[in-house]
Amino acid sequence: VSRLDAAVAAVERLGPLDERAMAAAAAHLDALTKPQGSLGRLEEVVVQLAGIAGEAAPPVHPAAIVVAAADHGIARRGVSAYPPEVTAQMVRNFLAGGAAINQLAAGIGAELVVLDLGVVGPVSPPGDTAATVRLVSGRIRDGTDDIATGPAMTRDEAGAAIAAGVDVAAELAARGVRLLGVGEMGIGNTTAASAIASVLTGFPPDSVTGLGTGLDADGRRRKVELIARSREVNRPDPRDPLGVLAAVGGLEIGALVGLVLGAAAARIPVVLDGFIVGTAALVACDLAPGLAPRLIAGHRSPEPGHAIVLQRLGLRPLLELELRLGEATGAALAMGVVQAAVRIRDGMATFDDAGVSGRA
């Protein structure tokens, strides 16, 4: 777990956001030909980016999106509208360029990386493909165990999943990536996410459990019961985030914890996707208090647990478009907003340059 400890220590060493860089960014925004603050959330983002990077006008190119993927033992109990083999099928679809995230990543000019932590079944693409998606293996094991009967994985495996995420973040940082979006693929993973959210926020399973990608009311009721059972069986301690991850989490959720920590440690702003990524961010913030201001909540999903998790993180989402797909689709759309904010920051004229009068 030493890579985890190192990443946590690196985030802690950064301390709070850089106030001087934020003040410089805010002053620059105020000099641009628009009423002060009139670009609302876009201006907030520009100031936050400065605080994260420690410079007034950090670039957000190149951008990368990492989709962490793994399978879940609990999926065999029908907690998803889709069968477990869809995880591997969708990873192959990512690699072949056929998924929603392929289109959205291309639309914002972001590199797409698929990180396999433990997908059951073959994950190489079906044949030659024109898609420029990179598959990185961080395989720990073939999916998790059923959390309704025991822990998802061992503590070491949870640490290894986090370390795999830290490694990918470090590699992207070394290659100069300046904006990271993160998402996930794993049939059954809203169940794991709801279990984590329930343990870490103290809300009962019923409050943080939704329909996932398309359960009916009966399916949701079974899901809530299984989450409650996973808590009884594993008795995870909310003061031990790594233990919670090992007990009721998922391999891809662990990797997301590491991606968030690793990117934050490298001063790279991280745009979060939906509910599952949100729970990973919550684990990461419980491991490294002070991390949250380095995160940008991309999209609030309709999953009832997501609003609760975002509240705990103290983050307001940029978008609410009723997406419930995952794959970093919400993150990618929000990254487009971040890029637009930076375009404005870098491209607009100042009042002086343009000969525009200030306030009356």
Candidate list 42, 197, 283, 297; residue touching a copy of itself; CB under 8 A? 42
Q: How far is the CB of 275 from a copy of itself (least distance, A)?
A: 13
Is the N-terminal amide bond of 62 cis, ω within 30° of 0?
Answer: yes
Q: How far is the CB of 345 from a copy of itself (least distance, A)?
A: 9
Nearest C-alpha neighbor of 241 from the set 294, 279, 190: 279
In the complex with a copy of itself, the residue whose CB is nearer, 103 or 154, is: 103
Does 347 participate in binding a copy of itself (rule CB under 8 A)?
Answer: yes
DSSP calls for 160-214 = HHHHHHHHHHHHHHHTT--EEEEEEE-TTHHHHHHHHHHHHH---GGGG---TTT
Does 214 participate in binding a copy of itself (rule CB under 8 A)?
Answer: yes
Radius of gyration of the chain (CA): 20
In the complex with a copy of itself, the residue whose CB is nearer, 3 or 324, is: 324
DSSP calls for 300-330 = --S-HHHHHHHHHHT---SB-------TTHH
In the complex with a copy of itself, the residue whose CB is nearer, 102 or 201, is: 102
Does 5 participate in binding a copy of itself (rule CB under 8 A)?
Answer: no
- Per-residue contact flags (x/-) with a copy of itself for residues 79 to 108, judged by CB under 8 A: -xxxx-xx--xx-xx--xxxxx-xxx-xx-
In the complex with a copy of itself, the residue whose CB is nearer, 254 or 317, is: 317
Q: How far is the CB of 38 from a copy of itself (least distance, A)?
A: 4
Alpha-helix runs per DSSP H in the chain: 2-14, 19-31, 40-53, 86-96, 100-107, 155-174, 189-201, 217-234, 241-248, 251-265, 275-287, 304-313, 329-347, 351-354
Does 321 participate in binding a copy of itself (rule CB under 8 A)?
Answer: yes
Interacting residues of 123 by C-beta distance below 8 A, sequence separation 6+: 69, 88, 91, 92, 95, 114, 116, 135
Candidate list 21, 39, 63, 69; residue touching a copy of itself; CB under 8 A? 39
Candidate list 154, 156, 311, 349; residue touching a copy of itself; CB under 8 A? 349
Binding residues with a copy of itself: total (CB under 8 A): 65
Distance of CA 44 to the CA centre of its chain: 20
Where in 134-153 is the site for a copy of itself (CB under 8 A)? none
Annotated catalytic, 303? no
Q: Is 133 helix (H, G, I), strand (E, B) or coil?
A: strand
Q: To the nearest 10°, report the CA torsion of 123, 65, 213, 235.
A: 90
Q: How far is the CB of 103 from a copy of itself (least distance, A)?
A: 4
Q: Is 137 helix (H, G, I), strand (E, B) or coil?
A: strand
The number of C-alpha atoms within 13 Å of 209 and in the hemisphere containing its C-beta is 26
Interacting residues of 139 by C-beta distance below 8 A, sequence separation 6+: 116, 117, 118
**Binding range to a copy of itself, per CB under 8 A, among 16-24, 165-173, 249-257, 321-329:** 321-329
Residues paired with residue 112 on neighbouring β-strands, in sequence order = 65, 133
**Binding range to a copy of itself, per CB under 8 A, among 12-20, 154-162, 164-172, 344-352:** 344-352
Count CB-CB contacts under 10 A for residue 13. Answer: 8
Does 129 participate in binding a copy of itself (rule CB under 8 A)?
Answer: no
In the complex with a copy of itself, the residue whose CB is nearer, 132 or 154, is: 132
Does 38 participate in binding a copy of itself (rule CB under 8 A)?
Answer: yes
Does 307 participate in binding a copy of itself (rule CB under 8 A)?
Answer: no
Does 355 participate in binding a copy of itself (rule CB under 8 A)?
Answer: yes
In the complex with a copy of itself, the residue whose CB is nearer, 122 or 314, is: 122
Which residues are near a copy of itself by CB under 8 A? 32-42, 78, 80-83, 85-86, 89-90, 92-93, 96-100, 102-104, 106-107, 126, 213-214, 302, 318-325, 329, 332-333, 336-337, 339-340, 343-344, 346-349, 353-360
Catalytic positions are 327
